[in-house]
């Protein structure tokens, strides 16, 4: 099997991911990493899957660790090629698994950061102003905080979606759909923004607009980053989402309801938010518990 065959296998693998509902951005990330993986193997003299050994996989992992990547990035450099290889095995393009005797421990669980009340007030203050885009920014902050949607999910909504008490998320992870209620405060902010928007988009048009037209995915993310910078904060892509989940759980919402609202397939990710809730509760007990009055 010539090395050119690797490219054919990669194209077929990525095509299957797309057909299974994977987002195009995810597939492109897979393509970039797997292309690098295949080129690295070619540099070691591997002309096809049958030539790859455990030693080659270990050299690949050493190569990636020497790049001072984060734990998550290093783990992805193992996880994604391993998934590709298992696909090759399932479709009989490879006859052995060189990953079996090469391990890569998963990254340590990191507590998800959530916005504080003070930070939320700073974000809303950063949305004050007479220009119509500031009304848009306020609507974005309230919408993301009130729904927990991913940025890409929110960016894909139409004007018609915003006129309902709940939105149907059609572009969720792995192509999953779900219904998420929208708080009245967020719906009101969106209505004020749409009235002020000079483009006057129709029901079938994109919901979010900038001064040059409808916001792309990158444009929407840039708007969120700009709001954060004006508030003196560095907003990660899931900061609002983390805040939504943490506040819901702290207020007593069931894990099942939060899981459904956020579109998770299981409780694995939610456990990260529970760690943050538990830490807040510990601090509260330490500060206000009745034993403190005993001296």
User: Using CB atoms within 10 A of its CB, is residue 75 exposed (0-12), middle (13-18) or buried (19+)?
Assistant: middle
pLDDT of res. 4? 46
- Distances from the Cα of 101 to the Cαs of 37, 50, 54, 97, 285, in angstroms? 18, 16, 7, 9, 47
Give the chain's residues under pLDDT 50: 1-4
- Distances from the Cα of 108 to the Cαs of 67, 137, 237, 246, 266, in angstroms? 19, 34, 20, 20, 19
The phi, psi pair for 95, rounded to 5°, reads -115, 0
Maximum Cα interatomic distance, the chain, rounded to a whole number of Å: 78
| Cα distance between the two ends of the chain | 77
Contact 180, 226 (CB under 8 A): no
Return the structure tokens found at 103. 């391990």
pLDDT tens digit sequence for 223-261: 999 999 999 998 877 899 989 988 888 888 887 888 888
pTM of this prediction? 0.67
Q: Is 127 helix (H, G, I), strand (E, B) or coil?
A: coil
């Amino acid at each position: 099997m010539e090395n050119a065959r690797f490219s054919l296998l990669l194209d077929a693998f990525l095509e299957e991911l797309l057909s299974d509902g994977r987002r195009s951005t995810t597939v492109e990330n897979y393509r970039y990493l797997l292309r690098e993986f295949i080129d690295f193997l070619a540099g070691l003299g591997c002309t096809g899957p049958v030539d790859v050994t455990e030693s080659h996989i270990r050299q690949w992992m050493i190569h990636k660790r020497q790049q001072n990547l984060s734990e998550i990035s290093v783990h992805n450099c193992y996880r994604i090629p391993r998934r590709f290889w298992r696909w090759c095995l399932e479709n009989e393009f490879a006859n052995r698994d060189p990953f079996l005797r090469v391990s890569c421990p998963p990254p340590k669980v990191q507590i998800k950061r959530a916005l504080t009340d003070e930070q939320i007030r700073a974000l809303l203050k950063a949305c004050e102003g007479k220009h119509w885009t500031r009304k848009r920014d306020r609507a974005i902050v309230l919408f993301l905080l009130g729904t927990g949607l991913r940025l890409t999910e929110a960016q894909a909504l139409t004007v018609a979606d915003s006129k309902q008490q709940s939105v149907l998320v059609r572009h969720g992870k792995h192509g999953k759909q779900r219904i998420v209620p929208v708080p009245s405060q967020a719906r009101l902010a969106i209505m004020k923004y749409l009235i002020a928007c000079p483009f006057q988009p129709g029901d079938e048009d994109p919901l979010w607009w900038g001064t040059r037209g409808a916001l792309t995915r990158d444009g929407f993310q840039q708007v969120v980053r700009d709001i954060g910078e004006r508030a003196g904060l560095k907003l990660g892509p899931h900061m609002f989402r983390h805040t939504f989940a943490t506040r819901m759980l702290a207020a007593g919402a069931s894990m099942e309801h939060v899981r459904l609202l956020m579109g998770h397939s299981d409780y694995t990710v939610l456990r990260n938010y529970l760690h943050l809730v538990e830490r807040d509760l510990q601090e509260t007990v330490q500060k206000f518990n009745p034993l403190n009055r005993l001296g």
